[in-house]
């Protein structure tokens, strides 16, 4: 019994040893590394500037719009006044107002006395009335209007007597929006017929309650640019000509330009805009570049600009999207935690958008009415809400991964 048992046990042990020795568990292995994010190359979403920004020429600006306007008008003189601006009237209406005004001042000779007579008549006879037509003729006939009506009528009546005048719009502190006039008779006067106020322009401390934001005249013009005063800034309002790369100037006539908000279409050959450190705004209520720069593909902001910055064809202000060139076809956004509703809306030419790593979520309607948008490169961890891309191309697709520029 013992002789047969021992070999059997030995065989079992030996077989077990061989089985253990052949096991794959005994072969050293390298642990599998975690799979990294998908890297996408060759998109070229970031374009480097190909020109320089306007150089700082040492000109300064004023924090006080009233003081800035006073200096600007002292420099320009009354020659900037070419007519009656945007005031609406017919020739027949103008002639009727002129005939009345001629009679009103027929016994008055000196220009300042003529102005004073007309000013007093408007301030005394027109009654402040809401909800009426403020064009000069209805105000003249009905003797009713708000501040705009007062200013319109005073401007037309003075114009009939060849007295230089234009309208200013801005703020009446502490009330709100207001309209008044600037009048030139040997020197500039600030004239507020609504409130029976008359001031020397050269003494801004006497009318600190009036804050001009827009003047109804052009201030400077040369062969390339036209400048006005808009939203409290010396503004580049028209570009007559430029090469492909528009470099926004730093100053004109010794005054620093702080706004670029065009109200006429840019020349069609302009594809790149270079915004220097002097430009504080592209517009507040309206951004003219959005509707008047149809062929611009790239906008670059000087890194020294304290108000704005540019990245991936987008201009940002206060960390929010501010301006996107109308002809940009590929746009890369900054790495916001969340891209909310209408981060890009009604852009007709964009074809590709790139979302940065670090963006956690795209909310519904983040991209809306972009009919040519076909691709969105989005990090794999970014959440995309339903309808985040709404009104885009029928072949639109999301490509997950991180774009390497």
Q: Domain boundaries in the chain?
A: 82-163+174-208, 329-405
Strand residue runs (E) in 255-386: 255-256, 259-260, 272-275, 298-301, 308-311, 314-317, 320-323, 330-332, 338-339, 344-345, 352-354, 361-362, 367-370, 375-378, 383-384
b/e burial code for range 87-118 (CB count within 10 A of at least 16 → b)? bebeeebbeebeeebeebbeeeeebeebbebb
Token pair for residue 55? Answer: 């150089």
* Alpha carbon of residue 223 to chain centroid: 25
Q: Are 355 and 379 in contact (CB under 8 A)?
A: yes
User: CB count, 10 Å around CB of 274?
Assistant: 21
Instruction: Give residue 24's pLDDT.
Output: 41
Beta-strand pair 165-172/176-184: antiparallel
| Residue range 197-254, pLDDT digits in tens | 999 999 999 999 999 999 999 999 999 999 999 999 999 999 999 999 999 999 999 9
Q: Provide the 3-class DSSP secondary structure of residue 10.
A: helix
Cα(213)–Cα(198) distance, rounded to whole angstroms? 19
| Order of all β-strands in the sheet with 383-384 | 338-339, 361-362, 383-384
User: Could you tell me the strand order of the sheet in which 352-354 lies?
Assistant: 330-332, 352-354, 375-378, 397-400
The whole-model pTM stands at: 0.86
What's the 3-state SS for 333-360? CCCCCEECCCCEECCCCCCEEECCCCCC
Q: What is the mean pLDDT of each run of 10 residues along the chain (405 residues)?
A: 40 38 42 59 73 94 94 97 94 98 97 98 98 98 98 98 98 97 98 98 96 98 97 98 97 98 98 97 94 96 96 89 95 91 95 93 97 96 96 96 80
Q: Give alpha helix (H) positions in 36-104.
A: 65-76, 91-104
Q: Which two tokens stand for residue 402?
A: 């991180």
Are the beta carbons of 267 and 294 closer than 8 angstroms?
A: no
Task: Collect all residues with Cβ–Cβ distance below 8 Å to 305 and sequence separation of at least 6.
Answer: 275, 276, 277, 278, 279
Max intra-chain CA distance, the chain: 154
| Cα dihedral 56/59/64/68 (nearest 10) | -130
Please tell me whether residue 37 adopts helix, strand or coil conformation.
Answer: coil
Q: Which pLDDT score is estimated for 41?
A: 67
Q: Residue 47: what pLDDT?
A: 77
CA 64 centroid distance within chain: 21
Q: Which of 404, 347, 401, 398 is nearest to 375 (CA)?
A: 398
SS3 91: helix
The whole-number pLDDT of residue 284 equals 93
* pLDDT at residue number 249: 98
The CATH number assigned to the domain with range 82-163+174-208 reads 3.10.620.30
Quote the Cα angle for 152-259-346, to 5°. Answer: 90
């Amino acid at each position: 019994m013992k002789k047969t048992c021992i070999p059997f046990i030995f065989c079992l042990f030996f077989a077990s040893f061989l089985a253990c020795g052949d096991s794959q568990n005994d072969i050293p292995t390298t642990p599998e590394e975690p799979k990294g994010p998908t890297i996408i190359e060759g998109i070229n979403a970031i374009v480097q500037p190909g020109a320089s920004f306007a150089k700082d020429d040492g000109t300064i600006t004023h924090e006080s719009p009233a003081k800035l306007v006073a200096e600007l008008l002292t420099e320009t003189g009354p020659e900037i006044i070419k007519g009656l601006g945007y005031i609406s009237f017919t020739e027949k209406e103008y002639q009727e107002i002129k005939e009345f005004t001629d009679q009103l001042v027929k016994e008055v000779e000196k220009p300042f006395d003529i102005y004073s007579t007309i000013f007093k008549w408007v301030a005394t006879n027109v009654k402040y009335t809401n909800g009426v037509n403020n064009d000069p003729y209805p105000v003249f006939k009905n003797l009713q209007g708000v501040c705009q009506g007062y200013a319109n009528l005073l401007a037309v009546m003075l114009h009939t007597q060849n007295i230089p005048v234009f309208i200013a719009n801005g703020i009446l502190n502490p009330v709100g929006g207001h309209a008044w006039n600037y009048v030139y008779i040997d020197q500039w006067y600030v004239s507020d017929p609504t409130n029976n106020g008359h001031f020397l322009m050269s003494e801004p401390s006497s009318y600190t309650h009036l804050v001009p934001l827009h003047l109804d005249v052009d201030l400077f013009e040369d062969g390339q640019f036209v400048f006005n005063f808009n939203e409290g800034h010396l503004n580049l309002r028209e570009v007559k000509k430029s090469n492909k790369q528009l470099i926004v100037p730093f100053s004109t006539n010794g005054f620093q330009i702080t706004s670029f908000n065009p109200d006429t279409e840019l020349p069609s050959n302009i594809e790149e805009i270079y915004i220097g450190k002097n430009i504080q705004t592209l517009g507040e209520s309206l951004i003219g570049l959005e509707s008047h720069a149809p062929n611009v593909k790239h906008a670059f902001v000087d890194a020294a600009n304290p108000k704005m910055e540019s990245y991936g064809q987008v201009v940002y202000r206060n960390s929010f999207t501010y301006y996107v060139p109308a002809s940009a076809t590929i746009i890369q956004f900054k790495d916001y935690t969340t891209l909310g509703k209408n981060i890009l809306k009604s852009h007709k030419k964009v074809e590709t958008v790139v979302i940065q790593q670090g963006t956690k979520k795209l909310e519904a309607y983040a991209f809306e009415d972009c009919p040519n948008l076909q691709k969105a490169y989005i990090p794999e961890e970014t959440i995309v809400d339903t309808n985040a891309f709404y009104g885009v191309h029928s072949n639109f697709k999301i490509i997950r991964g991180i774009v390497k520029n």
